[in-house]
Amino acid sequence: MNDQTFSLQPFPSISLPSLKIAGNIARNGNQLTICYTLGGDLKQIVIPPPSNTPSRKHELWKETCFEFFLGIKDSQRYWEFNLSPTGHWNVYRFDGYRQGMQEETAFKKLPFNVQNQADGLTLALDIDLNKIISAEQAIEVAITTVIKYRDGEVTYWALTHRGAEADFHLRDSFIIEL
């Protein structure tokens, strides 16, 4: 089992907000578990309420959204996972850097747990990767979050920011190996 903790950083061009995004990610065989914890002054950000009927939705990254990118080591192919606090989700497959984007149909559901308290929010996902990769394949992961503030400002959080602009798709930002 490979288990790592993480802490996300806001894109450098913004003033440091009073938020903290941290968590842990683990791979046991081909079972991937990721847990995000958002803490701080949550009154200043938009956290959409949970949906009674969570489903696959597009453009979740336009609102507060937890994301991770998973790539096969030594391959250009990667997947983008979007998890909204509403329970809505999506998974996209790419052939290379922002190329060949397709909805990943191997996943029909992506159930995850969201706990929202006054002083924090926790989102946890446990997923079987057998639908897209074999257990023998090493993976590289980028962990990211989009935070939308009540004033309309959107901030971009990641393990590392390697470009002049916030760009979660840059493969050299997939820095966790599992």
Q: Show me where the domains of the chain are located.
A: 2-177
Give the up-direction half-sphere exposure of residue 96: CA atoms within 13 A in the CB hemisphere: 1
Q: What is the pLDDT of residue 167?
A: 95
In the predicted structure, residue 117 carries a pLDDT above the cut 90: no
In the predicted structure, residue 171 carries a pLDDT above the cut 80: yes
In the predicted structure, residue 1 carries a pLDDT above the cut 70: no
Q: What is the pLDDT of residue 14?
A: 62
Report the C-alpha gap between 152 and 150 in whole angstroms: 5
Give the up-direction half-sphere exposure of residue 47: CA atoms within 13 A in the CB hemisphere: 21
Distances from the Cα of 52 to the Cα of 8, 55, 85, 87, angstroms: 29, 10, 12, 9
Q: What is the pLDDT of residue 18?
A: 84
Span 2-177 CATH architecture: Sandwich (2.60)
More confident residue, 111 or 87: 87
Q: Stretch 99-124: mean pLDDT, rounded?
A: 93
More confident residue, 12 or 161: 161
Which pLDDT band holds residue 16 (cuts at 50, 70, 90)? low
Q: Stretch 127-135: mean pLDDT, rounded?
A: 96
Q: Stretch 52-76: mean pLDDT, rounded?
A: 96
Residue from 51, 81, 82 nearest 65 by CA: 82
